[in-house]
Structure 1
Amino acid sequence: MEALSARVTIDELGTVTGWNDGAERLLGYPPEEIVGRPAVLLLAERPVPQEFPPTAGPPRWHGTLTLLHRSGRRLVARVLAHHRTAEDGSRDWLLVSAVAGTPRPDDDALLWRGVMQSPSCATSVYDTDLRYRRSSGAAQRALGLGEEEIRGLRMTDVIPTPVSEAVERRMRLALETGEPQYVENHARAPGENREHAWSVQLYRVEDPGDGRVLGVAATGHDVTDQYWARKRLQLIAAASSRIGSTLDVTRTAQELADVAVPDLADFLSVDLLTSFEEGGGAWGTGGAGVGTEGGGAGAPATAGAPLTLRRVAHQSVLPGVPEAVLALGDVDAYPEGSPPVESLRSGRGLYRRVFPAALPPWVAGDPLRTARIRDFGFHSVMAVPLSARGTTLGVVVLARHRRPDPFEDDDLVLAEELAARAAICIDNARRYTRARGTAVTLQRSLLPQRLPEQSAVEVASRYLPAGARAGVGGDWFDVIPLSGARVALVVGDVVGHGIHASATMGRLRTAVRTLADIDLPPDELLTHLDDLVARLATEAEAAENETAGDVGATCLYAVYDPVSRRCALARAGHPLPALVSPDGRVELLDLPAGPPLGLGGLPFESVEFDLPEGSVLALYTDGLLDSRSRRTDPSAEDAGTGTRAGTRAGTRAGTSDGGEDGDDGDDGVALLCSSLARPAASLDDLCDTVLGGMLPQRPADDVALLVARTRGLDASRVAIWDVQPDPAAVAETRKNVIACLESWGLTDAAFVTELIVSELVTNAIRHAEPPVQLRLIHDRALICEVSDASGTAPHMRRARTYDEGGRGLLLVAQLTERWGTRPGTRGGKTIWAEQNVGK
């Protein structure tokens, strides 16, 4: 469409930079003759300074100029000038003048028809060329111009914005099709000092006699109140879905800031009371006068004293949050009279106007805050306390510097609603953080603080609690030295999360160590442990403890003998262990699955493997494999309770892959094997490699990992004798032992060892069944073992004054560090005793 308005652009130096066809029609100059020349050449006479648009004045000027036509004639034109700023920061003037700006006979008819066909509101009528012809008083007030200034101009001439361009397109559509159009926008009109929401209806105006199209009318309804009401409802809805997505204090606070900016504020900060860091861990309850659970919130600090707050979140409409005077995590003291302190003292929200020329005393004494207020033009501030369940947590401060409207009562109501929702979520996160911290502390205190010294294996371990959403679970591991220089390796996983799971884990770990101390084989140990878990589940059901949840567990128990280099393993619904051979090959050891602990009635089976010296055995919990399949869905865990596979319902019973199903399990096992195959300087490095390659930053489930590199005991440190079932053989046995000790350089231990051997061998010959065998092992301790075919285990008793026997085992117990008995590998039993003789 041909432009009907004269449009000219002039830079800050007064040079013509733009010239359209309307300008050529008005003054006769083609663009090539005028662009680049001083604009003063177009003036027939210079205007008085009061009428000339100032260079640094308001964004718009209008008035009458006497212009000089190319032919030399003078003409008077009404000019509307816009002072504009481009995206690159450069500024220029846009001058527009109506080519057809004089009244026409049908203007009154246009206005009459337009007003008669529209509600009573801001109305403007345009001709078929979309030029202003008439407008109502409300429309003129909104534009800040009278009819004489805008008649003959298009809307894009009066308001040169993208909003006007969109409205003009709808006007053209209404004019061409006859169908009414509707436009809603939110902007500040030139004649208004604040933004308004307008509901604009556009419709074609026709002559009722002959149906001739006269133009188009625009009626605008001020729907600012409805607009903000809808925006507030949308903001509250967004807050319901976006705030509190995690049980993390700082993230929840940041979600509040992200929701409120920019819809409510240009800048927002969330500061929490530092008193929550005192005692009981970060963000724990406490602090004088903060308020107690179930009671009213009191004064956060002594009246008149500064209030110490920690910045945990902030957000801004400007990238990088340049308005902030504190970095995240910094602590600052707010003086008396500041909005945060006033809000926390009263327990209510408040808003204040800010005038850079007259700053309040609490700001004037802070040069940094003073500079921020003046640099960014802060003009309105609002503070709302964060309170939940009678406890004051902190304060939210909102400010405006880009939006011209100051905060009002409705804004305060909305801010208090958002703060109340966020406070509940922050308090939930705080409570959960405290409970989780307690569970983590309990969990770690129940795990081995340091692995015991032993010679059978070199070990390294890792324990990672689950992310905040899942909560701490009941994963554990243990390394238990056994008799005969052997060692037990244990990894287990209790169903559920939280303190109950940690406590159950502690009970099971203690039970395993007790059962290991009597040297039960792996399958028998798991059978006893299964009975214990079943009893615990029965007790929980009888107590009707709703918070306890299901009681169940999985476990893998392995016993490695460095003398024979054999390892016996059994599992109860636990993932298969991985073995890395000395040549670097990785495989999963094929063990019978066994049901999870607590089901009862099903047997466990142990399997023995020959492990070459230098083999690496990796034991782990299912969190190491499950975390990859749950990497993209952390919400799969119920925070603080947990509903993982392996409950008493037996969901993992009989699964040969340890609870992994489908491709996810296969992928996890493959990644585990590839991680174990990577070269590592030490077992600690190997643990870090496995965890780094398999786990997300915050695993969805607890992870326990135990790796052990096998060692072999040199044959020269083991001596074995078959003892004839004749009391006379005891003397020969003592001679053999003394000779062996001399070859080991342990002559200092000869006397005690001779007594121990005499007692144990004599008892075996007298009270047991052949064959009888004696074995000496020189490890970290000197170990004496006597094996026989009898299944009857001896026990120590107190001999009476005239008893002839009963003092042998008492003597052995007093002369040794420890002693005991265990079932034999092929039936019978073995009695053993250890002396601390150094390595």
Structure 2
Amino acid sequence: MATPDETAGGKAGATAGGTEASDAETSDAEASDAEEVARPAITVLNDEGQVVGWTRAAETLLGFRAEDILGHPGGELLAGGGDVSRIWSRDGDGDIGYRSGLEELRHRDGQRTLVRLERSRLLVPRGPHDWLLCALPASADGGVTSVLEPLLTRAPVVVAVWDRDLWCVWLNEGAQQLRDVFPYFRVGGKLTEIPPDADAPFPPDLIQEVLDGGEAVIDRESRWSLAGEEEERALSTFLFRVEGVDGRPLGVCLLAIDITHSMARERLALLRQASVRVGTTLDVMRTAQELADLTVPDFADYVTVDLSESVLPGPEPLDDLDTDDVGRPVFRRAALASIHGEVPGSLLPAGQAVYVPEHSPFTRVLETGRSYLEPVLDTSPDGWLSHDPPRARVVHETGIHTLVIVPLKARGTILGVAAFLRTENETSFTRDDQILAEELADRAALSLDSARQYTREHTAALTLQRHLLPSRISGGDAMDVASHYMPSTRYEGVGGDWYDTIALPGSRVALVIGDVTGHGIAAAASMGRLRTAMRTLAYQDLPPDELLTRLDDVFAREAEEDDRDSPIAATVLLALYDPAAGRCTMASAGHPPPALMDPGGSITFPDVPPGTPIGLGMGTHQSMDLDLAEGTLMVLYTDGLIERRGSDLDEGMSRLGAALADSRGPLAEMCRDVAGTLVGEDAEDDVTLLLARTRATRP
């Protein structure tokens, strides 16, 4: 891990004791190395944890040459050593799938390198399971503080982060303001340097205890005084450990909130509830209602949440609606809550367009992006309510006397506004209440933005995926075919699965099924490129094994030439059926084997020679020949059909065999039945199924 001086101000002393590079050749070499470090370092480990694949980017990142590391235990790459299997199985349960997180690796020179580590299991049935590890320097995506910084830099709380050696690596503005009281709040300072007699509300031994034991400190109260102030202040402190992908500690984060006044404790309790009760789903309407319900009655008597059309589209665009006597339609009502349970009939129901006068505080909040506080609501004939009769009527009916309007803003975009109002509660809103409302709105806005992003990206990825899949498949005179694609109900599962049938001379048919690693639009786009390349190579009449090897080489070279940050990696199964000979030739690139059901109903899974996935440029592929009787059913599928947490591939294939044995009817109906039996309606990953039944050979 980099030292604090390096973290705060670059590679301090990187050229100390040496000379600067003065020639262009050295500069170009250094620039090339820097670019290589920014690329993912890809490594392959076998089931015994030995390194069996090593790329140039891995050499650049960690300093080990291929001849130095191939065949060695993967644990040698971990800072501190140990069994490398802990990276993918913290609980020892042998679960399979995808995992991502932070991890410290060991450089050849002994230094620690913090990386964002992603691992995927290479699915090889009835044989050893290889692991694909992809490491990107944490500095490339912001490291430990990349999530904290944009959210907490100016938050009204104290936030500090120390690394595993207790060096301070990041402080927000609130923590920096306390340096007069706690001088050891300094980036680059070490907690062990604190004088024994220093006034430390969170002493180093407590932080070290959290780092070692992993048990968080919740709501630890301490008291301190600022110079020139007579009043003693109270601080509520939270300490929790920052962990890597394998659960090992990487540092400690401190969060402290000033709870001097009794109202501060109530606000803190409300903020705690917000972290649990707001944003529980990726549903926009649900999130808006959760914000409204959270704040009534503890904070406000009435709450309305109105969202822009980009977040909450309606049946008719707002721009198509006419401007009325009040103003123009700007929002749609998303949620509302009242202390009386039922809201007045004069308040707009959810989904309705919200009209806003030109000079109302709602317009001001929308235009400026800043919240609005009106401690005593102006109901005079010259006030803004005189231009908004519907709201004036609600104020008169309910007795609203104080108002706070805050923008729901995320990443610089105003998603809507939330209005907090009081009636029976006679206390007017204060500046502190306004700050609390802003904090609650910010948390809700992040959830709303995530929901909006999810909906938009999920829809885009799914649309692209469906567009790139074949609209019609055919087995010609050789086979009857049917397919089924079930998209994941989660965004992180959409994209990358594909299938195809390719008609070749001599009535031959090539059946293809594959799965690109990753998810979303990028995976769907990569899938489309792979499918096109597969068709191009198939038309050259290459044997399946040679075709996959050529495909692997093409995409590995393309990734190297284009300097791609995320090179394509995909599993593929290719089956070439010749009806004249009744023979099928298969080759696999790390893909699960097909299921074969003979005319008598017996189901087998042929041992297709395993191969490395496409795009790694590592090794060759092998083919196997099978003689198929007329009426044999071939079942090609992606791992989403058989993979389950806590179970291996053999169990999944057994379930597939049982589902096939119980399924009858046309192939299209069999596809739906098998997918419904094995997956149901909630798919964590894309499910792709391709069925083909051999026909009698025609003269």
Question: Under a length normalisation based on structure 2, what TM-score does the superposition of the two structures give?
Answer: 0.53
Aligned residue in 2 for 1:482: 504
Counterparts of 2:553 and 2:521, CA distance in 1 = 22
Q: Show the counterpart of 1:594.
A: 611
Decide which structure has the larger Cα Rg and report it: 1
Please state if 1:235 is matched with 2:270. yes
1:692 matched to 2:665 = no
- Tell me the SS of whatever aligns to 2:574: strand
Question: Does residue 701 in structure 1 map to residue 681 in structure 2?
Answer: no
Structure 2 residue corresponding to 1:260, chosen from 295, 301, 308: 295
Residue 609, structure 1, aligned to residue 631, structure 2: no
Q: Is the 8 A contact 2:478 2:509 kept in 1?
A: yes
Distance of aligned partners of 1:603 and 1:347 in 2 relative to their CA distance in 1, 3 Å threshold: closer
Q: Residue type of the partner of 2:605?
A: L
Contact 1:276 1:287 survives alignment (8 Å): no
**Structure 1 position 372, deviation (Å):** 11
Distance in 2 (alpha carbons) for counterparts of 1:309 and 1:449: 39
Q: Quickly say closer, same or farther: Cα 1:419–1:580, change in 2 above 3 A.
A: same
- Mapped contact 2:307–2:333 kept (Cα < 8 A): yes
Task: Kindly indicate whether the alpha-carbon contact (under 8 Å) linking 2:499 and 2:514 is maintained by their aligned counterparts in 1.
Answer: yes
1:676 equivalent among 660, 666, 671:
660
1:386/1:423 contact within 8 Å kept: yes
Contact 1:618 1:708 in 2 (8 A): yes
Paired residues for 1:339-738 under 5 Å: 340-341=362-363, 343-350=365-372, 365=390, 374=397, 381-400=403-422, 405=427, 407-431=429-453, 433-452=455-474, 454-470=476-492, 472-539=494-561, 543=563, 545=564, 548-600=565-617, 602-626=619-643, 628-629=644-645, 663-695=647-679, 697-713=681-697, 717-718=698-699
Number of aligned pairs? 434
Cα 1:672–1:425 shift into 2, 3 Å:
same
Flag the 1:439–1:533 CA change in 2: closer, same or farther, 3 A: same
Structure 1 residue 707, shift from structure 2 partner: 2.1
Give 1:512 deviation, angstroms: 0.8
User: Could you tell me whether the CA contact under 8 Å between 1:247 and 1:469 is conserved in 2?
Assistant: no
* Offset at residue 615 of structure 1 (A): 3.4
Question: Is the contact made by 1:473 and 1:701 (CA closer than 8 Å) also made in structure 2?
Answer: no
Higher RCO (CA < 8 A, seq sep 6+): 2
Give the 3-state SS of the residue equivalent to 1:604 in structure 2. coil
Q: Which one-letter code corresponds to 1:587 in the other structure?
A: T
Query: Counterpart amino acid of 2:589?
Result: A
SS in 2 for 1:518: coil
- Distance in 2, matches of 1:611 and 1:318, equals 72
Distance 1:340 1:371, change over 3 A: closer
- Counterparts in 2 of 1:234 and 1:371: CA distance versus 1, 3 Å: closer
> One-letter code of the match for 1:230?
R
| Whole-angstrom distance in 2 between the partners of 1:588 and 1:324 | 66
- What letter corresponds to residue 585 of structure 2 in structure 1? A
For residues 282 and 502 of structure 2, the distance between their equivalents in structure 1, rounded to whole angstroms, comes to: 37
SS in 1 for 2:492: coil
- Give 3-state SS (helix, strand or coil) of 2:677's partner: helix
How far off is 1:574 after superposition? 0.4
CA RMSD of aligned residues (A): 4.2
**In 2, distance between residues paired with 1:330 and 1:612?**
63
- Per the TM alignment, residue 573 of structure 1 is displaced from its structure 2 partner at its CA by 0.6
**Counterpart of 1:391 in structure 2: which amino acid?**
T
Matches of residues 124-135 of structure 1 in structure 2 within 5 Å? none
> Separation in 1 of the partners of 2:347 and 2:656?
47
The C-alpha deviation readout for 1:59-106, integer Å capped at 9, x for no partner, is xxxxxxxxxxxxxxxxxxxxxxxxxxxxxxxxxxxxxxxxxxxxxxxx
Cα distance in structure 1, aligned partners of 2:345 and 2:494: 39
Matching residue's letter, 1:572: A
Amino acid corresponding to residue 307 of structure 2 in structure 1: L
Cα gap change, 1:261 to 1:566, in 2 (>3 Å): farther
What is the letter of the counterpart of residue 298 of structure 2? D
Partner Cα separation in structure 1 for residue 603 and residue 350 of structure 2: 46
3-state secondary structure, aligned to 1:473:
coil
Partner of 1:157: none
How far residue 666 of structure 1 moved from its aligned partner, in angstroms, is: 4.1
Deviation at 1:361, TM superposition (A): 5.7
**More deviation in 529-538 or 328-337?**
328-337
User: For each residue in 1:359-414, what CA deviation from the matched residue of structure 2 results, as whole angstroms up to 9, or x when unmatched?
Assistant: 95677558xx968985x876655432222333222112334567565544332221
CA distances 1:668-704 after superposition (whole Å, capped 9, x unpaired): 3333333333334433332322333333655333332
Pairwise CA distance, 1:497 = 2.3
Residues 617 and 261 (structure 1), Cα distance of their counterparts in 2 relative to 1, 3 Å cut: farther
| CA deviation profile, 1:466-512 (whole Å, cap 9, x unmatched) | 44451533221111111112211111111222333233222211111
Aligned partner of residue 274 in structure 1, secondary structure = coil
* Residues 182-197 of structure 1: pairs in structure 2 closer than 5 A: none
Change (3 A) 1:574 1:350: same
Amino acid at match of 1:561: D
Given that 1:270 and 1:395 are in contact with CA atoms closer than 8 Å, whether structure 2 keeps it comes out as yes
| CA distance in 2: counterparts of 1:668 and 1:323, whole angstroms | 55
Cα deviation digits, residues 797-820 of structure 1 (max 9, x gap): xxxxxxxxxxxxxxxxxxxxxxxx
SS of the residue corresponding to residue 663 of structure 1 reads coil
Structure 1 residue 571, shift from structure 2 partner: 1.0
Q: Distance in 2 between matches of 1:526 and 1:442?
A: 25
**Residues 487 and 685 of structure 2 are in contact (CA less than 8 Å); yes or no, is this contact kept in structure 1?**
yes
From 202, 223, 226, the counterpart of 2:261: 226
Q: Is the 8 A contact 1:471 1:497 kept in 2?
A: yes
What TM-score do the two structures reach when normalised by structure 1? 0.45
Deviations 1:133-180 (A, max 9, x none): xxxxxxxxxxxxxxxxxxxxxxxxxxxxxxxxxxxxxxxxxxxxxxxx
CA distance in 2, matches of 1:579, 1:678: 15
**2:476 maps to amino acid:** Q
Question: What do the CA deviations read for 1:690-740 (whole angstroms, capped 9, x no partner)?
Answer: 333333655333332222233223xxx41xxxxxxxxxxxxxxxxxxxxxx
SS in 1 for 2:506: helix
- SS of 2:523's equivalent in the other structure is helix
Unaligned runs of 5+ in 2: 1-258
Change (3 A) 1:406 1:601: closer
